[in-house]
Chain A
């Protein structure tokens, strides 16, 4: 479990995050939502240890993450940044194999090859495993990066807008893969998600940020309410119950649709 206690972070004099206290339970999928500039990515970067919090404490399984060595942390927490600017000419297979670095420190073993194959199979990327990244579409690249993160075989995965720029099919495939990571493999997944409907229908828990502060958090039922979302995004929401979830309609403001 990841526990955040009173986290603050500022860039210069501007406070980006203030007093964030939250918990990310084990083996669950937590979505971080909120408007642009709410501090979602910054929060994820703090958990990933790619930035240092200005104040507060983050613990992983009870231990302060600042005290865990970087090499050890990479075996427990995997991070996928938004738009990884990797311009290397690598094949999907080669890229995914780099996810094993925390375990083999550059000397791949048979187990690493097996983990690489598993991650590729998990996202059904077998047909493009020999293709070069620069030959792939944006969606395929994103899948390849996710496969690299999965090959890292960490208990915890942090994903910054994994659905960004994907078509509906790829977005759904990634979301289903994240769900399966939680349900079938017992991983803890934390993802910044912009699409409220993906967040509402696939998460166990949602954390909503606004202006660098915790707006609301809890189960989907607790956070995804018409009043709550209206306050969070400043938009009128119409939440339509569906047999297997719900649909948050914000496309047509209330009244206009009739």
Chain B
């Protein structure tokens, strides 16, 4: 997304000391890495997949590929990209680098929404669950945005968010307990891709149009990050844009929590790393954030599938571990 430098830009313009700014290598390498990770994700699994069989487009290997491995790959890539983009949007809206769906109560609210859908409308399909999860997530995010608008200290925002999330989580747990539903809830406590198969995961494709829409509005979201007054003086309707951003975030969170469960830290770590590396102009960095989120989750998922092969560690655990460590690193080294 590098814009060409105007030739008449003056003497200082060409002296870019950052080697990664040079084009060419910068895109080929992550592209190759991404492709390799996707391939690895397709090859790893409990069942043996005979490559020779694939050429016939039928048989057991073909079924494994199309019904399990490809859906899983799609779910991992979409979830990773979606959550990372979510984090970036939330960080602009709340003007705080330490927020993401897990630290703003969004994940917990989505869980509560699914729970309400499952108990009140047990016969309803995935669409209803999705809608309720999204509605709960949106409401919780809006309330959180209003609360934190009064918080001056930036460190307090994620702390307040964690507390807020815990309250919502406790609410969900109590609700589940009172309806004798506690066991069913464990399903989405920890993100897990192992249950992703053809026919059960398709809701997660909703992330694709959401990420695309976020990219269309990327410049506006960066403007939102400059604050209400700057945005208003540049003619942007601030509130409408904040609401739109939270709607997009809620859609992604709801879709991912329904299909794979809660995955913390991706939305926190990836946007922060990209920001340190390439800055905050989302028109330029959003593709990197999406790709980075997908790659981080691919790595976490592969790790989780290999570490106790042929069994699996849920990605919520590996992702939380890897993401948590990276986050610690960011706090210690990144914030100079």
Given contacts A94-B279, A130-B12, is CB(A102)–CB(B225) below 8 Å?
no
Q: Which residues of A contact B8 (CB under 8 A)?
A: 117
Binary CB contact string for chain B from 65 to 80 against chain A (1 if under 8 A, 0 otherwise): 0000000000000000
Given contacts A86-B230, A90-B281, is CB(A129)–CB(B13) below 8 Å?
yes
A128 CA / B3 CA spacing, docked (Å): 17
- A198: interface (CB < 8 Å): no
A70 CA / B234 CA spacing, docked (Å): 8
- A30: interface (CB < 8 Å): no
Distance (Å) between the CB of B237 and the closest chain A CB? Answer: 7
Number of A-B contacts (CB under 8 A): 93
Distance (Å) between the CB of A54 and the closest chain B CB? Answer: 19
Given contacts A89-B280, A90-B281, A106-B217, is CB(A98)–CB(B10) below 8 Å?
no
A91 CA / B225 CA spacing, docked (Å): 15
Most buried by B among A70, A84, A99, A121: A70
- A79: interface (CB < 8 Å): yes
A8 CA / B279 CA spacing, docked (Å): 42
Main secondary structure of the interface of A (DSSP, over half): mixed
Distance (Å) between the CB of A126 and the closest chain B CB? Answer: 3
Distance (Å) between the CB of B205 and the closest chain A CB? Answer: 26
- A75: interface (CB < 8 Å): yes
Given contacts A50-B233, A84-B227, A88-B280, is CB(A129)–CB(B222) below 8 Å?
no
Given contacts A71-B235, A74-B233, A94-B279, is CB(A117)–CB(B6) below 8 Å?
yes
- A122: interface (CB < 8 Å): no
Contact of A101 among B3, B13, B219, B279 (CB under 8 A): B219
Q: Does B9 contact A81, Cβ atoms closer than 8 Å?
A: no
Q: Which residues of A contact B281 (CB under 8 A)?
A: 88, 90-91, 94
- A202: interface (CB < 8 Å): no
Tell me which residues from 128 to 180 in chain A have a Cβ below 8 Å from any Cβ of chain B.
Answer: 128-130, 132, 152
Q: Does B279 contact A126, Cβ atoms closer than 8 Å?
A: no
- Using a Cβ–Cβ cut-off of 8 Å, how many residues does chain B contribute to the interface with A? 34
A70 CA / B227 CA spacing, docked (Å): 16
Q: Does B236 contact A101, Cβ atoms closer than 8 Å?
A: yes
A210 CA / B220 CA spacing, docked (Å): 39
- B275: interface (CB < 8 Å): yes
Q: Does B223 contact A101, Cβ atoms closer than 8 Å?
A: yes
Distance (Å) between the CB of A117 and the closest chain B CB? Answer: 6
Q: Does B11 contact A127, Cβ atoms closer than 8 Å?
A: yes
Q: Does B233 contact A126, Cβ atoms closer than 8 Å?
A: no
A126 CA / B11 CA spacing, docked (Å): 8
Tell me which residues from 80 to 110 in chain A have a Cβ below 8 Å from any Cβ of chain B.
Answer: 81, 84-91, 94, 98-99, 101-102, 106
Distance (Å) between the CB of B126 and the closest chain A CB? Answer: 34
A48 CA / B235 CA spacing, docked (Å): 11
Q: Which residues of A contact B229 (CB under 8 A)?
A: 50, 79, 81, 84
Q: Does B234 contact A74, Cβ atoms closer than 8 Å?
A: yes
Contact of A73 among B15, B222, B235 (CB under 8 A): B235
- Using a Cβ–Cβ cut-off of 8 Å, how many residues does chain A contribute to the interface with B? 36
Q: Which residues of A contact B223 (CB under 8 A)?
A: 98, 101
Q: Does B12 contact A81, Cβ atoms closer than 8 Å?
A: no
A117 CA / B13 CA spacing, docked (Å): 12
- Return the chain A residue nearest B216 by Cβ: A106
Q: Does B220 contact A130, Cβ atoms closer than 8 Å?
A: no
Given contacts A91-B279, A117-B8, is CB(A101)–CB(B233) below 8 Å?
no
- B167: interface (CB < 8 Å): no
- B232: interface (CB < 8 Å): yes
Most buried by B among A81, A94, A102, A121: A94
Contact of A130 among B13, B217, B225, B276 (CB under 8 A): B13
Distance (Å) between the CB of B224 and the closest chain A CB? Answer: 10
Distance (Å) between the CB of B238 and the closest chain A CB? Answer: 9
- A246: interface (CB < 8 Å): no
Distance (Å) between the CB of A73 and the closest chain B CB? Answer: 7
Top 7 A-B pairs, shortest CB-CB distance? A74-B235, A126-B10, A127-B12, A106-B219, A88-B280, A79-B233, A71-B235
Q: Can you list 24 pairs linking A and B with CB atoms under 8 Å apart?
A: A48-B233, A70-B237, A75-B235, A81-B229, A81-B230, A86-B226, A86-B227, A90-B279, A90-B280, A90-B281, A91-B279, A98-B222, A101-B223, A101-B235, A102-B234, A106-B219, A106-B220, A117-B8, A121-B10, A126-B13, A127-B12, A129-B13, A130-B13, A132-B279
